[in-house]
Structure 1
Amino acid sequence: MYIYILLQWNMKKTSNIPPLLPPNVDYLKLIRYLSEANNALGELKGSLGLIPNQKILATPLLTKEAVASSKIEGTQATIEEVFKYQAEGRKNESISKEEDIREIINYKYAIEYATTLLEKRPLGENLIKALHNILLKSVRGETKDRGNFRRIPVHIGKPGSTIDNAIYIPPPVMELPTLIGNWEKYINSDEEPDFLVQVAVSHYQFEAIHPFLDGNGRIGRLLIPIMLYQRRVLNYPILYISEYFERNKEEYYYNLRLVDEKEDWTSWIIYFLKAIKVQAEDTKNKVDKMLSLYKENKDKIATMKSAFGIMLLDIIFANPVVSFPMIREQLSSSSNQTIFNLLDKFVNAGILKELTGAARNRIFIFKDLMDIIK
């Protein structure tokens, strides 16, 4: 990714080779921030534990994280557009919008895939290459050696910039094996007294190494909830931290550069811990609202006396914008009329709202859920 933030630094003309991990971290300056971030994550984990089927309620939040992370890269698609695209099952968008949406969907698939891979292997080089392969499939950057570490030097700066006026020059290719090996050893170790510091340090180091030709920012942000899930700090990888990074983008890049230029780990880690705290609290708030909404609608459905009511409720919690073909594929009913009747009941009960106003190819939105996750 090219960074579009202009920072006032003395530009380096040589490659930056970050020191090997672990770094020297002043924990005394982090005590308050660590306590607040860990408490917020603990409360979020508690709320997640109350959800009967975490994957159903987690899917919209995974999509939200994917939208926020991709937005940092310049995509313009909204979360509603992503769900609508998936519900329609056909290409009604412009080429650029469709590429944005596919990039977001790839990000979500990558997180979901990582949760299955972590059951078989530790987080490391092979896994991040597999995630990179998914992330760049059929989107911009696909031709940039997808799934492989870069084999040529790169530099980061404004569009059209040269190495002479680059904002940052990542390590040369010959340094990658040593740096990645050290990074992999560090993230799977117990060297840091607090795991959140380890996540913060590993995120900086990954971005500093810049191992891929493209997609480093997306992979680096994706690894944050994955690491929290791997250590069971969270029992599902939902923490849309990219929203905080996107909202505080200049501060994000500023603090990363402080580590580059001054080895100021404290400022970066404090920024990171603030992001964890804020987003954990916000995610918990959304999870609590979603759980309440689920119970409320479950009570409504009980009066419908339909064997498929709860099944449809689960479908629309995972996919807040749905179409008849999508429901028919997932609902174990052989009767189209049963599905039509159930959709009408959901509309009459105020659970779903029909978007198109057409007699055929109708699209329905679960607006109450969309209002929570937007």
Structure 2
Amino acid sequence: MPWNPEAPYNDLPALPPVHIDLEPRAVLKATVEARAALATLAQAGHLLPNPNILLNALPLLEAQASSEIENIVTTADELFKHADLGGGDHATKEALRYRSALFAGVESIRQRPLTAATAARICSELQGREMAVRAVPGTRIANPTTREIVYAPPEGAPLIGEKLSAWERFVHADDDLDPLVRMAVAHYQFEAIHPFHDGNGRTGRVINILMLIDKGLLQDPTLYLSRAIIARKNDYYRLLRAVTADEAWVDWILYMLDVVRESATSTTRKIAAIRACQEHIAERARAATSGGRDAQFLAVLFEQPYCRISTVVERCDVSRQTASSWLHSLVAAGLLHQVKVGRELLFVNHEFMEVLTRSE
């Protein structure tokens, strides 16, 4: 029976697809290039004196971009401003929950294998409430401009549960399929199952990172995938649909491999820019204040673009007066900006923020 976008796709085939070579020569070549880019990224990450720079900053940028794909739009400035304070507008809170979901997923897979339960935990963190598989029929995905229905996912909690179990088996299959190809194929399948009422796209993109960590291709969630997807957002949705309509697996896999390669390469460039910024600011900070000779203080300035006096007190084991003096000296030297958020006085490493948010 031909696929009908308006009818629930209850016959969604299990993985791997039958009679289709998922790793033709073009895919193998693209896999080598993506793996090389990931290896270069790993080496670049080791050159940073403080790995918390990446762990604190890049997941927030990924949260912003992945949320933007779903038209949840906030700014990096708002995210960093509210990362430790909480608050912000609705979109900012949604994006901050993405970061929480990402970290919850990483913690989960370091204790037990990736499963449908992991996906439910991620989605629950994203939505801020307990999420279970869809039980109510009638879910339809429409073109946001024309309102034309473009896809109807499988219906019925028991059937969705069966599809997710088959998806799990594929994720953990003991075969020769390259982990990057497996990630691309599994991502399509998860989005096609569309197991939750909301949050499936963001949940699926968190799972992409988890699969790469699980297979040792990443050590931490420091790959900034969603920005590359945003740059070709129309292709993302078009190619997902083409797999459903035409079994165009190879085009989809090549797209995802290129997203990985491009993301790893741009993140490597960003790390180089962060190192240069860090060295430049450290040199000027040493001339501006005695705190500039404190390695821990310099590390704090680059863990988040926004810094609080209380953070410096805690991390550097100095008095509040000393912490305040160090920070205000850097404001006077033009290295930091001072802003008020509610009752909190924050100090912004504006050069670091510019490096984080510009395209590399």
Work out whether the TM-score is over 0.5.
yes
* Correspondence for 1:171: 154
* Correspondence for 2:82: 85
- 8 Å CA contact 2:83, 2:96 repeated in 1: no
Gaps of at least 5 residues in structure 2 are: none
Whole-Å separation in 2 of the counterparts to 1:118 and 1:289: 31
* Correspondence for 1:373: 356
Q: Percent identity?
A: 30
* Correspondence for 1:4: none
Whole-Å separation in 1 of the counterparts to 2:151 and 2:176: 27
Give the 3 Å change call, closer, same or farther, for CA 79–10 of structure 1 in structure 2: same
TM-score by length of 1: 0.85
1:295 is the counterpart of 2:279: yes
* Correspondence for 2:104: 113
User: In the TM superposition, what whole-angstrom CA distance separates every residue of 1:305-348 from its partner, at most 9, and x where no partner exists?
Assistant: 44983323322322202333454455533x22111111023224
Aligned with residue 252 of structure 1, among 219, 236, 241: 236
Aligned with residue 297 of structure 2, among 297, 312, 316: 312
> Counterpart amino acid of 1:363?
L
> Counterpart amino acid of 1:332?
D
Whole-Å separation in 2 of the counterparts to 1:315 and 1:17: 53
> Counterpart amino acid of 1:37?
A
Which stretches of structure 1, 4 residues or more, deviate above 6 A after TM superposition? 159-162
Whole-Å separation in 2 of the counterparts to 1:220 and 1:307: 43
Give the 3 Å change call, closer, same or farther, for CA 291–155 of structure 1 in structure 2: same
Q: Secondary structure at the match of 1:22?
A: coil
Cα drift, residue 180 of structure 1: 0.8
- 8 Å CA contact 1:68, 1:242 repeated in 2: yes
- 8 Å CA contact 1:47, 1:284 repeated in 2: yes
Cα drift, residue 100 of structure 1: 0.7
Cα drift, residue 210 of structure 1: 0.5
Whole-Å separation in 2 of the counterparts to 1:373 and 1:306: 24
Whole-Å separation in 1 of the counterparts to 2:286 and 2:192: 54
* Correspondence for 1:21: 15
- 8 Å CA contact 2:225, 2:260 repeated in 1: yes
Aligned with residue 317 of structure 2, among 332, 335, 349: 332
Cα drift, residue 277 of structure 1: 1.2
Whole-Å separation in 2 of the counterparts to 1:294 and 1:315: 11
Cα drift, residue 275 of structure 1: 1.0
- 8 Å CA contact 1:61, 1:240 repeated in 2: yes
Whole-Å separation in 1 of the counterparts to 2:175 and 2:193: 20
> Counterpart amino acid of 1:62?
P
- 8 Å CA contact 2:286, 2:292 repeated in 1: no
Matches within 5 A, 1:261-280: 261-280=245-264
- 8 Å CA contact 1:40, 1:277 repeated in 2: yes
The more displaced of 309-318 and 200-209 is: 309-318
Give the 3 Å change call, closer, same or farther, for CA 14–58 of structure 1 in structure 2: closer
Give the 3 Å change call, closer, same or farther, for CA 278–247 of structure 1 in structure 2: same
- 8 Å CA contact 1:192, 1:198 repeated in 2: no
Cα drift, residue 72 of structure 1: 1.2
Whole-Å separation in 1 of the counterparts to 2:344 and 2:114: 43
User: In the TM superposition, what whole-angstrom CA distance separates every residue of 1:147-206 from its partner, at most 9, and x where no partner exists?
Assistant: 3222122221156999xx521111122321221111112112332431110010011011
Q: CA RMSD in A?
A: 2.7
- 8 Å CA contact 2:9, 2:153 repeated in 1: yes
Q: Secondary structure at the match of 1:363?
A: strand
* Correspondence for 2:187: 203
* Correspondence for 2:37: 40
Larger RCO of the pair (alpha carbons < 8 Å, separation 6+):
1
1:56 is the counterpart of 2:65: no
Cα drift, residue 350 of structure 1: 3.8
The more displaced of 207-216 and 167-176 is: 167-176
- 8 Å CA contact 2:115, 2:168 repeated in 1: yes
> Counterpart amino acid of 2:116?
E
Cα drift, residue 274 of structure 1: 1.2
- 8 Å CA contact 1:54, 1:236 repeated in 2: no
Count of aligned positions: 349
- 8 Å CA contact 1:324, 1:361 repeated in 2: no
* Correspondence for 1:68: 65
Whole-Å separation in 1 of the counterparts to 2:255 and 2:272: 26
Give the 3 Å change call, closer, same or farther, for CA 325–75 of structure 1 in structure 2: farther
* Correspondence for 1:223: 207
Whole-Å separation in 2 of the counterparts to 1:179 and 1:316: 47
Give the 3 Å change call, closer, same or farther, for CA 171–287 of structure 1 in structure 2: same
- 8 Å CA contact 2:286, 2:293 repeated in 1: no
Whole-Å separation in 2 of the counterparts to 1:356 and 1:300: 25
Cα drift, residue 33 of structure 1: 1.6
Cα drift, residue 245 of structure 1: 1.4
Q: Secondary structure at the match of 2:57?
A: helix
Gaps of at least 5 residues in structure 1 are: 1-8
User: In the TM superposition, what whole-angstrom CA distance separates every residue of 1:278-326 from its partner, at most 9, and x where no partner exists?
Assistant: 1111011001211233334344455544498332332232220233345
> Counterpart amino acid of 2:298?
L
Cα drift, residue 26 of structure 1: 4.1
* Correspondence for 1:100: 91
